[in-house]
Each structure stands twice: as C-alpha cells, then as structure tokens.
Chain A
C-alpha cells in the first residue's frame, strides 16, 4: 500500500479528515521550504502538496503565480525540489508528499527521469494540472511502474462519464476542484460540493480531497463535513508572501494559520464522531 493510501486508512480508522497544505517549493527562498514543511507537519498537515514552480501557471490565480515568480527568481527547478524532498525525508518518513505542477518542466527532463528522481527522493504522488487523463497514458504507466500515485482533478464541469474515466485512472486520492475558476478565487458553496462528491463516490472508493476556495477554519471545517481531505493553498501562500521580508518568522506564521484550520476540522470531526 502506498504511503498516501496508508495515511488515509489511518485517518479513517481514527475518524479524522486529512488536511493537505500546498506551498510552492523555493518560495520565497529555497532554504525556507524544508523548515516550513516540518512546521506544517507539526501544525497538523497529513499530506503535503509541494508545488513545482512554472513560468506560466495558467490554472493558478495571482497569489500562486507570484509564488512561482519568487521561486523562479532563485532558479528553483525540479532538481532542487527533489533535493528539498530528500532533505525533508531525513527527518520525516511518514508524511506523504505530492508534487504538484505543470507538464512542461516534467517533460523537459523526461517522464522516466522524473519518476526515478521522485522515487529516489521519497515523493509519493504527482498531480500535473494541465495533463488530463486523455494525454497521460505514458506518464501514468511510468509513475505506476515507480510506485508513484497519479492524482487527478475532477471539476464542477466534469460529466458523470468523465468522472468514471478519471476514477479508473486515479491513484491515492481524487482532488475535487470546488469552483469554476483559478486557485485562490471565489469562496466555495459547500452544498454544491457535497452533491458532486456524492456523485463521485458512486464511481470510486478512493478518498476525495477538496481544494480551491478554502480560506479559514470555518470553510475548512465545512468542507471536512463532506470530504476526506481538505486542501488549502492560496491562503497559506499569501501568508508566505506577507512574510517574505521576515523569513525567520515565516514557518511559524504559516503553520499558525494551518493549525487554526486543523483545530476547526478536529472540532468538527469530534462532533460528528
């Protein structure tokens, strides 16, 4: 069983919802990332999504675009991202890491090379936001061969037939994009999300994560009521941006935000237990 599946099994046994923070690797400086990842785990992260910076992040809003620009100022590439994961693994063998990014940087080094580096570094999953199932046969095969889970997106616009296809391709968990829009855009509607998730549950037994539009403890807890995992990105990245000139305070500040969400989710999980 993959580290991601194991993580969800454990949480399920405890009646807990997973909390998945997203940060862009190397934002605002490469050395901040590993301490930040440890701080996030201490604050209650169950899985971490680590963004591979890309020059043209067309599915992201301005907050994550700027994070990519800050990381790229330091030329942070996949090679560096792998080093960060490796360094994180020196102290942490349990928390699954999912790399999230766009196709081109991965294509540039080649799928096989990427898979080998990822496996070696201790990466557990990968989500390429601009590669739909239709274009991912070779990629998925190679990741499968290396025991790396390919995470796929389902959106409000995804038809039931597509849900079925995506479910058959997905490994680890499925990431439901809660709103029509880019990351960090509007607030989500929990009842709409709940309806889509119940459709999706008819097609798959994989855990379902929900991201886009989760901003605070309240929205995190609301989503925890319907999902197996809560993904939070832009809110944390905005906090990173605000602390870009006070980097010594940055990990604690970002972790503090995440801890609020953890508490809110735990309170909800307990209440419904």
Chain B
C-alpha cells in the first residue's frame, strides 16, 4: 500500500480540489470562494514563471541569506553517542526563522495580483514578523492578528512588528491564541476581500494554501538534500522537525518523500503530557474534522467543539495541523511523535550549552526527540533536524520558568 501511495504521491497530491486523500479541501464561506480561486489561478500562473522564480531566488539569497548552512553538531553528537546530527540552520535566516521563506513568496504573489493590503495571523510572532518585514520592504499596508494571550507572552515580537510598521490586533475571542487569530484574520479577509491578500503562515487553510506554503518551504528540504550529498555523499537516515501547523516539517520532508530509506519524524507539543489532555498534539491524540478551511486531524471534544491547546511554545499551540501531514500519517510515510514542555526545555538548554546555539522553543521539541532517537542509531547514520528558528524571542518565557523576570 505505502509503495503505491508513494508512487502516486507527486502525481496525485493534492488533487485539483486540494485534497490529500480525505484531507484538505476548501471549507470556507461562499464569500471567500472567489478569492480562493483567484489566488489559486495566480499561483498556478506564477509558480513556474521564470521572472517570478528569479525574483524570489534573488530575495531568498540577498535578503534572507539563503542557502542556510547545514551544521554538524559535533559536541551534541558526541554527548548523545549515536547518529551524527546535522542542524538545518533556518534560525540564521533574516528575521530568525523559516517563516520568511513563505512570506517572500506570498508577498511577491500579492504584488503581481495587485493587492496592496496584507493580513496575517501569528502565534509566536515569527510569521507576523516575517510578514511585517516583507510588507515594510514592499511598501504594503500590514495588519497582523495575534491572540491576546500570545501578545503577552511574545511581547518582543509584537514590538518588532510595530517597528516594521504593522498594526498588531490582539484577538480577545475564544482561547485568545493562534486559532482565534486565524478566525479573526479570515473575518478580516471576508470583509476586505477585494484589496487584501491573506498570507497564511503555515500549511493549513483552504486550498491552495497547504500546497502553496509547502512549495515555498521545500527550499529547506531541497537544500538539505543537496548539502547532505555534498558533505556525506549519501541521504540522511532520518529527518526530524517540530510540528505546529507543520510548515517547517513539510518543507524539510517533502523533497525526501520518494526516498524510502529516509525516516521522517514530526514532533508535536505534548505540553504537560498527552495523558493530561493539556497538549497540542492533534496527530498523536486528535481525530479528523474540519477547521480553518480544511479537513485534518484536530483537537476536539466528542461534540466537535475545538478544545483549548497547551504548549510552552506559542508556535505549536494550535489545535489543527496541515492536511498533508494528516495524509502522511495515515499512509505511514512519516511518524508523528510528541515531547513534553519539560523535555523541550531541557533540549533548549542542552543545545545552548553544548553547541552555543540558542534554539526557539518550537525547534527545541525537534531537538528533544533527537535526544531520544540519536542514541538508538549507529555512528555511521545521520539525522537532519530542522532548527526552524532562533530562541531570542523566548528569553522571557525561559527566564520565567527559571523564576527570573526582566
């Protein structure tokens, strides 16, 4: 079965209605359907357009700083005593995370579509900052929706967005986190649909977003593959990435889907522990449903109401996940696991002390899983872990955990 699914993968997914197996699709109110088709048409027109791609490549190179290095974490490898661990350094991108790969692509598309107003949702603030950054550079109006809870815990990123000229709107409805920011951004879009481009930050939302955001993020995996071949002469044995909505993970995984020998691990936030119910791990502990424009695994109660999530990391604090991950889970091509807040925090400190790299709390979840995985592998084997963002934004949270305040 898996073999057939993989053979079909690039021919079939997503289909013309944006389905990955039973997942994905377009579940939005009628008012947005026109805008979604308009976006899909524009994306199909430009995705292989030489001028569009050349402009994007130039921006990724000179503005973002790509390619990002692939770094052998020798000290950490030695400490864990197993597989060799390579870090894909997305934390070194301009604005400090992988998010900018996508916002560059979507903003260039917005420009070609003649839309001068940009909106975005953000959780940790990384996507908001990446959006405000490209909007500032292109002279576009920018409004970022952010859960009021997240505005509090990511105050520094809020200020960065404001410096960049964006208006940050705290969202007070529901659980006051990322999912509510997404609801509010969709409400804005439906109201200002004529002149507004909605830059979704992850591989969720209605078709074509999951496929489009993935395509913009696969630069991560394409580079990593080439770098591994150059450095080690072979493919890695395992890929590890954290999963909130799943954009950095799909960006790393996708170019390796046909390479059967490469194991893939997506790491969700287990929060206080899956058994406590206070987590954000829909692939590990949720069930399929419909939210924010697509069908996917969701954290929900037996009545289909979305339940509040918890993660130490604001970027993982989301009850859904990209539909392509849902499909990769079902066909068994990728493995989805989870680590707790405490495990992620320990990995955060580990990497900081052993390698002199302060990782984002989101990425620390991937690192925490590497802590478990690497020792089970041999020294000839290799792991590529996506260091999707840097930890500067998390100083406040980490200090608070240690009882410090500043």
Contacts and interface: CB of A to CB of B under 8 A. Distances in A.
Q: Do A and B bind each other?
A: yes
A132 B30 contact: yes
Interface string B152-185: 0000000000000000000001100001101100
Interface in B281-295: 288-293, 295
Interface centre among B174, B295, B307 (most CB of A within 10 A): B174
Contacts, number: 131
Contact of B305 (A61, A72, A177): A72
Contacts of A54: 304-305
B211 to A, nearest CB: 16
Contacts of B306: 55-56, 104
Contacts of B32: 157
B31 A105 contact: no
B304 A130 contact: no
B34 A59 contact: no
B304 A157 contact: no
Given A59-B190, A159-B34, A181-B191, A134 B26 contact: yes
A58 B290 contact: no
B290 A180 contact: no
A154 interface: yes
Given A56-B291, A105-B304, A181-B191, A135 B31 contact: no
Contact of A158 (B30, B191, B298, B300): B30
B302 interface: yes
B194 A180 contact: yes
B300 A154 contact: no
Contacts of A129: 29
Contacts of B112: none
Nearest to B287: A108
Given A62-B173, A134-B17, A158-B34, A103 B27 contact: yes
Contacts of A112: none
Contacts of B33: 132, 134, 155, 157-158, 162
Contacts of B191: 180-182, 185
For B33, B35, B193, the residue with the greatest tally of chain A CB atoms inside 10 Å of its CB is B33
A249 interface: no
B290 A156 contact: no
B187 A58 contact: yes
B193 A180 contact: yes
A135 B25 contact: yes
B300 A156 contact: no
A244 interface: no
A59 B186 CA distance: 8
Contacts of B307: 55
A135 B26 contact: yes
Nearest to B307: A55
- Residue with the highest number of chain A CB atoms closer than 10 Å, among B174, B186, B290: B290
6 contacts: A54-B305, A55-B306, A59-B31, A132-B26, A132-B27, A132-B29
Interface of B: 17, 25-35, 173-174, 179-180, 182-183, 186-187, 190-194, 288-293, 295, 298, 300, 302-307
Given A157-B33, A185-B191, 5 more contacts: A58-B183, A78-B304, A107-B289, A107-B290, A181-B187
